[in-house]
Amino acid sequence: MSFWDAPAVRGPLDAVVVVPGSKSITNRALVLAALARTPSRIFGALRSRDTDLMLDALRQLGAGVEIGDDGTTVDVAPAPLRGGSVDVGLAGTVMRFLPPVAALAEGPVRFDGDEQARARPLGTILNALRDLGVTVDGDGLPFTVRGAGAVRGGEVAIDASASSQFVSGLLLSGARYDEGLAVRHVGGPLPSAPHIDMTVEMLAASGVRVEQPERHMWRIPPASFSGREWHVEPDLSNAGPFLAAAAVAGGQVRVPSWPQSTTQAGDQIRHILASMGATVRWEDGWLTVNGSGELTGIDIDLGEIGELTPTVAALAALASSPSSLRGITHLRGHETDRLAALSSQINALGGHCVELDDGLSITPKALRGGPWKAFADHRMATAGAIIGLKIPGVRVDDVDCTSKTLPGFADLWAQMCATASDGA
């Protein structure tokens, strides 16, 4: 494995960064399109490893999928679902959204993925399907969903404290079940709630009514829904490291097509950067971050926006005062144990990061260059890039893992850095 030397800059940035489409929106739109009665067209779809895995999986299950010449327009023609084999890679959306879809297939669907994926929690979704009358072999990857062409449906209680994707995965297919579906969360704090809001909003746009009689209960009556056109927003979480770069290096980074309102959790990065000392402005669809290169620490509950944790942790390691990042126990079950990974890598560069029961405590110390392990986790790789802006000699061991959600990250990062006044 080759190391990537994270560019360090010595002057302020002046960059415009065009961020590809949202993975979360793209993969939800693909699932809804495959389950609809009529064809759909998706504009601005993200093309990355995670979304290509979803495209390939839906083809395996029988959907017609055609990619336009621009690479980001996708036509989906629904068809009767059939058995097959699904490679989930390391994509949480694929491994958690598609088992409830596979339950509707005529025939068994076998799921497997990357070695790291076998450690990711899946029992919640598989046991929920069993409770709904679906036969499932196995409790984690590899497993097989023995589709019978229909699912009884009804009410199911789950503990989704490890991932909101368990709720979203069930809701996306629930309208196709004979009795519809009611999902009740009965566990600890529910993380990443904005992602459930996104699912509910996209179902509504498809004509599926989601009732929420209680805070942690969602009910969907049986329904069929038509295909439609989807227009995918930029991935705001993927924009986070680029905007953070302005705060770290100084200068300005601008991202076009930033929605005025959105259910994407990544939108919160603008408020976090403002709290840490940057100036943030939205105007006419452009989000602009101006920074001085000086950061203050932050005390924040990231429970609903856990995907931003690696970016915030990198900023905190470069700040002038301590930070406390809370409410993120569930990150131990992501692509890697992100709390352990962040702590180990910040400390390996001379920092002081302590794992808490539900987060991280980061006390700034002088950092030094050195290797940064990504653990095959795209957000760990981008966190190393952020620190490398300020600390020369940071070398990320697997920057190519960013292709999971942002192909070409290293080139985009280099282009941004080249706008620094020192010409880096």
- Contact predicate 359/339, CB 8 Å: yes
334 is in an annotated binding site: yes
- Contact predicate 166/305, CB 8 Å: no
For residues 307 and 424, what is the distance between their CA atoms, to the nearest angstrom?
29
pLDDT at residue 167, as a whole number = 97
Q: pTM to 2 decimals?
A: 0.93
CA 253 to mean position of chain CA atoms: 22
Residue 422 has pLDDT above 90, yes or no: no
24 is in an annotated binding site: yes
163 is in an annotated binding site: yes
Domains defined along the chain, listed by start: 4-20+234-418 (3.65.10.10), 23-231 (3.65.10.10)
231 is in an annotated binding site: no
Residue 334 has pLDDT above 80, yes or no: no
- Contact predicate 34/64, CB 8 Å: no
Backbone angles phi, psi at 268, to 5 degrees: -70, -10
404 is in an annotated binding site: yes
pLDDT in tens, 380-399: 999 999 999 999 999 999 99
The average confidence (pLDDT) of the chain is 96
373 is in an annotated binding site: no
| Catalytically annotated residues | 307
pLDDT in tens, 72-91: 999 999 999 999 999 999 99
165 is in an annotated binding site: yes
For residues 89 and 98, what is the distance between their CA atoms, to the nearest angstrom?
13
pLDDT above 70 as % of the chain: 99
Residue 421 has pLDDT above 90, yes or no: no
Mean pLDDT calculated for residue range 130-149: 97
pLDDT at residue 1, as a whole number = 60
pLDDT at residue 195, as a whole number = 96
Residue 423 has pLDDT above 60, yes or no: no
Mean pLDDT calculated for residue range 204-229: 95
Sheet holding 135-137, edge to edge: 82-87, 106-112, 143-148, 135-137
Q: Tell me which amino acid residue 150 is.
A: A
For residues 64 and 201, what is the distance between their CA atoms, to the nearest angstrom?
25
pLDDT in tens, 165-182: 999 999 999 999 999 999
pLDDT at residue 396, as a whole number = 98
For residues 389 and 402, what is the distance between their CA atoms, to the nearest angstrom?
17
